[in-house]
Amino acid sequence: MADLLMIESWLQSTGLMLPPLLHEGGHRYVLVTRDPDLYRLPGGEPHPVLALAAEVVVAETNDAAALLAAARAVAARRRIDGVLTTCDYYLPAVALVAEDLGLPGAPADVLRTATRKHLVRQVLAAAGVPDVPFAVAATWDQAHKAAADLGYPLVVKPVDMNSGTGVRKVADEAGLAVAFAEATAPERNTRDQPLERLALLERVLEGPEYSVESVTRDGVTRVLGITAKSVAEPGVEGGSGFVESGHLFPAPLAPDERDAIERHVVRVLRAVGLTHGISHTEVRVTAGGPRLIELNPRQGGGYIFELVRLVTGFNPLQVLVDLALGREPVPGPAVAASAAVTFLLPASDGVVREVRGAQRLADDDRVLSHETPSAGRVVRPGDNNERIGHVLVGDPTGQQAKTWSDALASSLDIVVVGVTVAAKTDA
């Protein structure tokens, strides 16, 4: 049994799954949060993060000094073996606390770089790692000039948001104006942390998209596998947003393609200085070779962690725990040759009236997990936070998982009554 500090958490996906995993493994954790009321389920009952905590400590997790004081106070009265989180926004904080308490973790300054998209680009440029042409803009004049230098089309994104929030593909100056405003207008994220309000402009990368799931310990990186990603670009005013519409693991790649992707990702991680931790690195394979889309020093979301577990036996959430405790991750049994998830995406703004065909998912043995939207749910196309359900399947012996999940998702009829709805945010 181990005792851990959990510094905040996501509410969905990994946030729901990590607390029971810790509990079932015989571990205890102290939740450190600035707002316990955040951790409530839609019906008002406590979220698993709150319900399964051995202790809840209220502290200002957005202030380094206050957080360190709270962590030291907990460590003074009970043994702490590791520090972790599932929430991107607190990865640098976890590293800072682990460093202060002498526990396993990556250097705090490395995590701050790794969670800022523009700093990652700058580090790669300094290390000579092949990368996409880019520029950083704090003002409209800087953005306008950078776009003229880079040329259209461009991808514009905030430097410090997650889940594809504010990421737009733009084709002209009018689209750039809308995308720049969207990237730089928000002053704080959903956890009330101040944003840098900088826009990263990148030349568009052409080619198939993949993510690489890796574990780095003592500076040595082990690739668990590569995920093939389907990306939809629903039209929105001023450009297109990028929404991941499905994942397939393992990606169907030739050995030389796989080797090239893995080598590139290892170079990226080495350049950033990531010596410890799990990572989810997104790349596109262009005519010039693999190029980084984004580096995420955490487990993959969007059920990628579950696809990896089914096929390799490595549960990325268990790997997260093992690394926090300084242990070598060990795989469990693999149960599928391929696994895939297809997401349900709203075609337009509106309110869900009904979902037809959902019973077929419950009756199909190939379906390992599924979710469909309930009647009355408000939906809108946008970023990855706006996905309204999923179908996850595993093929025990072959490579049909993606074909099956796509077909099953397509068999559903989601009836949406069109109305104008306000944008939503993820906590």
Q: Tokens 């004081």 appear where?
A: 69
> Residue 81 phi/psi, 5° resolution?
-100, -15
Task: In whole angstroms, give the CA distance from residue 249 to residue 210.
Answer: 10
Which pLDDT tens digit goes with each residue over 184-211?
Answer: 999 999 999 999 999 999 999 999 999 9
Consecutive H or E run containing 108: helix 108-114
49 touches 24 (CB < 8 A): no
Question: What are the residue ranges spanned by the domains of the chain?
Answer: 3-103, 112-127+205-330, 133-203, 338-417
Q: What is the pLDDT of residue 239?
A: 43
326 touches 106 (CB < 8 A): no
- CATH class of residue range 133-203: alpha beta
251 touches 304 (CB < 8 A): no
Q: Indicate the fold that domain 112-127+205-330 takes in CATH.
A: D-amino Acid Aminotransferase; Chain A, domain 1 (3.30.470)
Task: In whole angstroms, give the CA distance from residue 341 to residue 410.
Answer: 13
Task: In whole angstroms, give the CA distance from residue 84 to residue 7.
Answer: 6
Domain 112-127+205-330 identical in fold to domain 338-417: yes
Q: Which residues contact 191 (CB under 8 A, 6 or more apart)?
A: 8, 34, 62, 87, 89, 90, 427
Structure tokens, 273: 């200085």
Task: In whole angstroms, give the CA distance from residue 67 to residue 73.
Answer: 10
Query: Strand 209-217 to strand 154-158: parallel, antiparallel, or no bridges (unpaired)?
Result: unpaired
Task: In whole angstroms, give the CA distance from residue 294 to residue 390.
Answer: 23
Q: Read off the amino acid at residue 344.
A: L
413 touches 356 (CB < 8 A): yes
CA 331 and chain centroid, separation: 22
109 touches 247 (CB < 8 A): no
Q: What is the pLDDT of residue 155?
A: 96
152 touches 144 (CB < 8 A): no
Q: What is the pLDDT of residue 386?
A: 67
401 touches 248 (CB < 8 A): yes
CA 128 and chain centroid, separation: 26
Which pLDDT tens digit goes with each residue over 335-366?
Answer: 999 999 999 887 777 888 888 888 889 999 99
CATH number of the domain at 338-417, out of 3.30.470.20, 3.30.465.10, 3.40.50.2300, 3.30.1360.70? 3.30.470.20
Q: Which residues of the chain have pLDDT under 70?
A: 233-242, 381-386, 419-427
Q: What is the pLDDT of residue 351?
A: 87
Q: What is the pLDDT of residue 421?
A: 41
CATH code that applies to domain 3-103? 3.40.50.20
CA 31 and chain centroid, separation: 21
Q: What is the pLDDT of residue 423?
A: 38
Task: In whole angstroms, give the CA distance from residue 103 to residue 136.
Answer: 35
Task: In whole angstroms, give the CA distance from residue 382 to residue 18.
Answer: 27
> Residue 16 phi/psi, 5° resolution?
-80, -30
> Residue 372 phi/psi, 5° resolution?
-125, 155
